[in-house]
């Protein structure tokens, strides 16, 4: 590939002209002195006439032009793998030596970006094929509170929403989810949730995160939403007492409603073994068409097609500080957020042509 010699177009003309005999004229004293060859450019013909040699040289140039990008791609690909390996080794060295940072809540940004997101991303991209809309409604800087519906028997919708913000926001923002107490009582899950940026769903932690300029995610339905029967799918449950609105008002952060379609069908909950749930300390024990009948295989979610839409933000920075203590204002804003999420859910369901495609 590299041995092929490409002859420039100017050299071709000079070579063709040099083959013509040099013009001579008589010199003084009867001696003839050879004059240097005069190169005359032939008029460009409007017809595409080429010699066989020119065609061969053109073919060589075209072949080389086609090969060079391939070689560059191979070199770039090799260099890319080398950089990945070097980056992976550097990451492992920092993990072993303890040369990494976590914030006061236990959030490990490097571990989340390099490992945890990579573990969840195949489920997001290939299995649920999540489509994201309205990501620009999350501000590029400053605190914001994302309020979403909750469903699906297992809280996979929170993880998918976290990946959606992480991978699609133009400012590379990270979503810090507020999780229930049960998440931090489970072994292994507790540590992973802290590393991924989740924190306890309490007003104090949420307000501190918002004042630090973080994007915070909350699902006010809680276990009432995630554990509701399949017959009540996409019907929002009660949003509690509006504590998230009070937190947003105190921090002056906008509220971004978020509607998630597709999570309701991953585990169609047709029953609830309440006695078994009380014995295990769970808020509910789901019975689905596949679980517990198929054993561990029944825990595999159905591959539904998801849509996550972030709505127009509701601004709160125009209210006075005492507004956070006004119960009527909190009720009105809570109802406004809930109605906007419900309306968007109905709109997305009408547009959806299939649960799985």
How is the chain split into domains, by residue range? 109-266+301-351
Query: pLDDT truncated to tens, each residue of the chain (357 aa)?
Result: 344 444 344 444 434 443 444 444 444 344 444 444 444 444 444 434 444 444 444 444 444 444 444 444 444 556 678 887 887 888 888 878 877 888 999 999 999 999 999 999 999 999 999 999 999 999 999 999 999 999 999 999 999 999 999 999 999 999 999 999 999 999 999 999 999 999 999 999 999 999 999 999 999 999 999 999 999 999 999 887 778 999 999 999 999 999 999 999 999 999 999 999 999 989 999 999 999 999 889 999 999 999 999 999 999 988 988 888 898 999 999 999 999 999 999 999 999 999 998
Residue 255: strand pairing partners:
145, 314
In angstroms, rounded to a whole number, what is the distance separating the alpha carbons of residues 10 and 39? 11
Burial 188-226 (b: 16+ CB within 10 A, else e): eebebbbbbbbbbbeeebbbbbbeeebbbbbbbbbebbb
User: Is residue 78 within 8 Å of 85, Cβ to Cβ?
Assistant: no
- Yes or no: domain 109-266+301-351 corresponds to CATH 3.40.1130.10: yes
In angstroms, rounded to a whole number, what is the distance separating the alpha carbons of residues 16 and 11? 9
User: Is residue 324 within 8 Å of 250, Cβ to Cβ?
Assistant: yes
pTM value? 0.76
CA angle, residues 192, 195, 200, in degrees to nearest 5: 85
Residue 304: strand pairing partners:
none
């Amino acid at each position: 590939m590299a041995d092929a010699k490409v002859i420039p177009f100017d050299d071709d003309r000079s070579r063709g002209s040099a083959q013509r005999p040099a013009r001579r004229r008589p010199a003084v004293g009867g001696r003839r002195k050879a004059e240097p060859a005069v190169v005359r450019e032939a008029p460009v013909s409007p017809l595409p006439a080429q010699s066989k040699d020119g065609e061969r040289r053109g073919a060589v140039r075209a072949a080389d032009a086609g090969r060079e990008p391939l070689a560059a791609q191979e070199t770039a690909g090799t260099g890319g793998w080398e950089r990945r390996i070097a980056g992976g080794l550097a990451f492992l060295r920092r993990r072993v030596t303890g040369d990494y940072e976590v914030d006061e809540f236990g959030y490990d940004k490097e571990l989340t970006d390099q490992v945890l997101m990579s573990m969840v991303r195949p489920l997001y991209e290939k299995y649920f094929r999540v489509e994201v809309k309205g990501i620009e409604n999350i501000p590029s800087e400053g605190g914001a509170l994302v309020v979403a519906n909750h469903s699906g028997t297992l809280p996979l919708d929170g993880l998918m929403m976290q990946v959606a913000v992480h991978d699609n926001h133009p400012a590379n923002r990270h979503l810090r989810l507020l999780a229930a107490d049960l998440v931090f009582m489970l072994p292994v899950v507790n540590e992973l949730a802290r590393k991924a940026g989740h924190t306890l769903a309490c007003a104090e932690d949420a307000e501190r995160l918002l004042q630090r300029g973080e994007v915070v995610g909350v699902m006010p339905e809680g276990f009432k939403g995630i554990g509701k029967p399949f017959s009540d799918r996409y019907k929002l449950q009660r949003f509690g007492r509006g504590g998230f609105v009070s937190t947003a008002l105190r921090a002056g952060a906008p509220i971004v409603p978020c509607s998630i379609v597709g999570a309701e069908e991953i585990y169609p909950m047709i029953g609830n073994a309440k006695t078994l749930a009380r014995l295990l300390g769970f808020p509910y024990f789901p019975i689905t068409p596949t679980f517990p009948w198929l054993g561990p295989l029944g825990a595999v979610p159905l591959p539904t097609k998801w849509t996550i839409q972030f709505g127009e933000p509701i601004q709160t920075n125009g209210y006075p500080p005492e507004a956070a203590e006004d119960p009527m204002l909190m009720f009105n804003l809570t109802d406004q957020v809930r109605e906007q999420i419900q309306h968007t859910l109905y709109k997305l369901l009408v547009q959806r042509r299939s649960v799985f495609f």
